[in-house]
A and B are shown apart, each in its own frame.
Chain A
Amino acid sequence: MPSDPALSARGASIGYRDRAVIDGLDLNVPRGAFTALIGPNGSGKSTLLRALARLQSLSSGQILLDGRALATIGPREAARRVGILFQGASAPEGMTVSELVQEGRYPHRSLFGRWNRADEAACARALRLTKLEALADRPLDTLSGGQRQRAFVAMVLAQETGILLLDEPTTYLDLPHQLDILELAGALVREEGTTVVAAIHDINQAARYAAHLIVLKDGAVVTAGPPDAIVTPALIEEVFAVKAMVVPSPVDGRPLILPLTRAEREDS
């Protein structure tokens, strides 16, 4: 783990009403790497990502952005450095793809600042990376689910943040679109040094694309580290209550999880 994490949480607790979703959590997000958050539903992945993006306030503890308390950084400056693709984003009726993407420039513009060349270039790049150029003038409500998801990705790309948080970016997408999004995130990490944190349901996909895994259960970090160092049958059983075999993938040697059928469990 690099010595200066891009984002970290120190004793972070988050509660809705009086139920603590996350309680005294510590974690470090390595800079310039692809980190995947994995854990069962309700383990606090979304809540944690929302807190890292200032959408959720902490009841105690703090989040550090480049070593500085996030709470002391102004909202616009924070939005220039951390972007989030959250679940359930919806656009107003009739809004087109390019209109949505242009909103991503908001934190970069002063109150009376004019639309400039940097804004234009950022939007063009975002549309290119998400392969939405041909759909730029289409209203979002006429697009497929996968295309709409890409449009929201394009908006957060236009925000040009060094840190990108993705809350279940692949949920509800079919396999090719899932891979598109993961490949895009991977390319941003490799080519531009972006720090990516993605909550991902599919453990195999997470192990395949991420260099660093953070495993959550009941609002606490169970373990964190490179996939091949931490993914074991014991971890999968502890976190997901599933008996599985873990084998190195024939493609890249990363851990591949094979859940056992009932018959196989009884045999072993």
Chain B
Amino acid sequence: MMAFVVLAASIAALFGASVAIGDEPIAIAEIARVLLGEGDPVASFIVEEVRLPRAILAVLVGAALGTGGAIAQAVMRNPLAEPGILGINGGAALAALIVIVEIESPPARLLPLAAFAGALITAAAIYALAWNDGTSSLRIILVGLGLNALAGAGVGFISAFGDVTTVQQAQVWLAGSLYRADWETVRVLAVWLVLPVVGVLLAARELDVLTLGADAARALGQRVEPTSAAMILAMALISAAAVAAAGLIGFVGLIAPHLARRIGGRRSRHVLPLAALSGAALVLAADLVGRLALSPANLPAGIVTTLIGAPFFALLLWRRRDAV
């Protein structure tokens, strides 16, 4: 409970800082006036059209990445599984990039659709190549790394032949940036997230039974195949929506569930919401650091999370070196 309060408080603080800090610092009192509709026009524009959607997008993207990671780790019975490392996000990004480059100015709602298709194809490929009763070995990770590299190569290929200006814009998005945040992106993401997130939360108990393994789950009376398929579908939806909104923000899906389990134990009904909150805090913090570290340059949040996340991944791998 204590940890939960600390987590919620740090999100509130990061959120406030996100809105207040920037090239044009805005005092908290002024933000309050803006929210009450009494602020001066410049401050109102910055808060309402730039920083607020950006901070809210950071929260939603972080929550989505954290939830997706928690689902992946439970269904695959593997604490190293994460949609990013498994190449599911990479597949989503590749599909979205194809749409961006091939269709001139695609509508915002088309991107999640394309990303979802990409995520599903990658998930199916992992299933076909590595799934062995939810293998807990590193095999699934290796296959995922391979698919991720493949998606990366696809991105390189599309970028090389696409229109230079479009590709340049897409690169910023691809690096995992909240730079383009606007209310439309926030709305589309929120709509895509509602159903799968609520569904998975309601079925959290099914996720716990799945983590026991296919045989044990079946012995307890669970219909294992449809349940894991539904969970993977939800994970693909959630991950794809996050990628379509903010590109590749790596390792949040890996770190957030670990934090969540540290705080709240193993039960999915605790882990899922805590992973969502941890993810939100991580992306808010990463975006803030990215904006401030090399100011006035804007470092994409995805680069910050990768700088933190890659060593964390290495640490987890090293700790499990006997479990290969």
Q: Is the CB of B261 within 8 A of A79?
A: no
Question: Does B220 have its Cβ within 8 Å of any Cβ on chain A?
Answer: yes
Residue interface mask B88-105, A partner, CB < 8 A = 1? 000000000000000000
Verify B209–A106 contact, CB threshold 8 A: yes
Residue interface bits A64-92, CB-to-B below 8 A is 1, else 0: 00000000001111111001101001111
A83 CA to B215 CA, complexed, in Å: 12
Nearest chain B residue, comparing its CB with the CB of A165:
B219
A53 to chain B, nearest CB (A): 6
Interface: A159 (CB within 8 A): yes
Would you give the shortest CB distance from B20 to chain A, in whole angstroms?
Answer: 39
Q: CB within 8 Å of A: which of B153-184?
A: none
A89 touches B215 (CB 8 A): yes
Which residues from chain A contact B267 at a C-beta distance below 8 Å? 99
- A54 touches which of B79, B218, B266 (Cβ 8 Å): B218
Residues 215 to 271 of chain B near chain A (Cβ within 8 Å): 215-216, 218-223, 261, 265-267
Query: A92 touches which one: B77, B218, B223 (CB < 8 A)?
Result: B77
**Residue contact B212 to A103, C-beta cutoff 8 Å:** yes
Residues of chain B within 8 A of A55, CB atoms compared: 215, 218-219
Tell me whether B48 is interfacial, beta carbon within 8 Å. no
Chain A neighbourhood of B261, CB < 8 A: 94
Summed over the interface, the residue pairs from A and B with CB atoms below 8 Å come to a total of 63
Does A75 contact B211, Cβ atoms closer than 8 Å? no
Asked if residues B219 and A79 are in contact (CB atoms below 8 Å), the reply is: yes
Complex Cα gap A75–B218 (Å): 8
Of residues 264 to 305 in B, which have CB atoms within 8 Å of A's CB atoms?
Answer: 265-267
Question: Is there an interface contact between B215 and A104, defined as CB atoms closer than 8 Å?
Answer: no
Chain B interface, number of residues (Cβ within 8 angstroms): 23
A84 with B219: CB separation less than 8 A: yes
A190 contacts the other chain (CB 8 A): no
Number of interface residues of A (CB under 8 A): 32
Q: Tell whether B22 is near chain A: CB-to-CB under 8 Å.
A: no
Residue B208, interface by CB 8 Å: yes
Residue B213 interfacial (CB < 8 Å): yes
B205 interface residue per 8 A CB criterion: yes
A residues 133-191 near B (Cβ < 8 Å) are 156, 159
B215 contacts A79, C-beta separation under 8 Å: no
CB nearest to B74 among chain A residues: A92
Whether the pair A92, B212 counts as a contact (CB closer than 8 A) is yes
A90 vs B213: C-alpha distance in the bound complex, in angstroms? 8
CB pair A86–B219 under 8 Å, yes or no, is yes
Interface residues of B in 181-213 (CB under 8 A from A): 202-203, 205, 208-209, 211-213
In the bound assembly, the distance between CA atoms of A162 and B209 in angstroms comes to: 22
CB contact under 8 A between A89 and B216, given known A99-B267, A103-B208, A103-B209? yes
Complex contact A92–B266 (CB within 8 A)? yes
CA distance A95 to B79 in the complex (A): 13
- Docked pose: A38 CA to B316 CA in angstroms: 44
**Which of A76, A96, A106 has the largest number of chain B CB atoms within 10 A?**
A106
Contact A95 B266 (CB under 8 A): yes
Bound-state Cα–Cα, A93 to B262, Å: 12
Collect the chain B residues with CB atoms within 8 Å of residue A111's CB: 202-203
Contacts of A156 in B (CB 8 A): 219
Cβ of B79: which chain A residues have Cβ within 8 Å of it? 93
**A99 lies within 8 A of B218 (CB):** no
Q: Which of B222, B223, B266 has the most C-beta atoms of chain A within 10 angstroms of its own C-beta?
A: B266
**In the complex, which residues of chain B have a beta carbon less than 8 angstroms from the beta carbon of A100?**
212
Q: Pick the contact of B221 from A80, A90, A92 — CB < 8 Å?
A: A80
CA distance A91 to B218 in the complex (A): 15
What would 14 more interface pairs be, CB under 8 Å, given A89-B216, A90-B136, A99-B265? A55-B215, A55-B218, A79-B221, A89-B213, A90-B213, A92-B211, A92-B266, A96-B266, A100-B212, A103-B216, A103-B220, A107-B220, A111-B202, A111-B203
19 contacts between A and B (CB under 8 A): A75-B218, A75-B223, A84-B219, A86-B215, A89-B212, A89-B215, A90-B213, A94-B261, A94-B266, A95-B211, A96-B266, A99-B265, A99-B267, A103-B208, A106-B205, A106-B220, A106-B221, A111-B202, A112-B202
Residues of chain B touching chain A, judged by Cβ–Cβ distance below 8 Å, are 77, 79, 136, 202-203, 205, 208-209, 211-213, 215-216, 218-223, 261, 265-267
Closest 8 A/B residue pairs (Cβ): A79-B221, A76-B221, A107-B221, A106-B220, A75-B221, A92-B211, A84-B219, A106-B209
Residues of chain A touching chain B, judged by Cβ–Cβ distance below 8 Å, are 53-55, 74-80, 83-84, 86, 89-96, 99-100, 103-104, 106-107, 109, 111-112, 156, 159
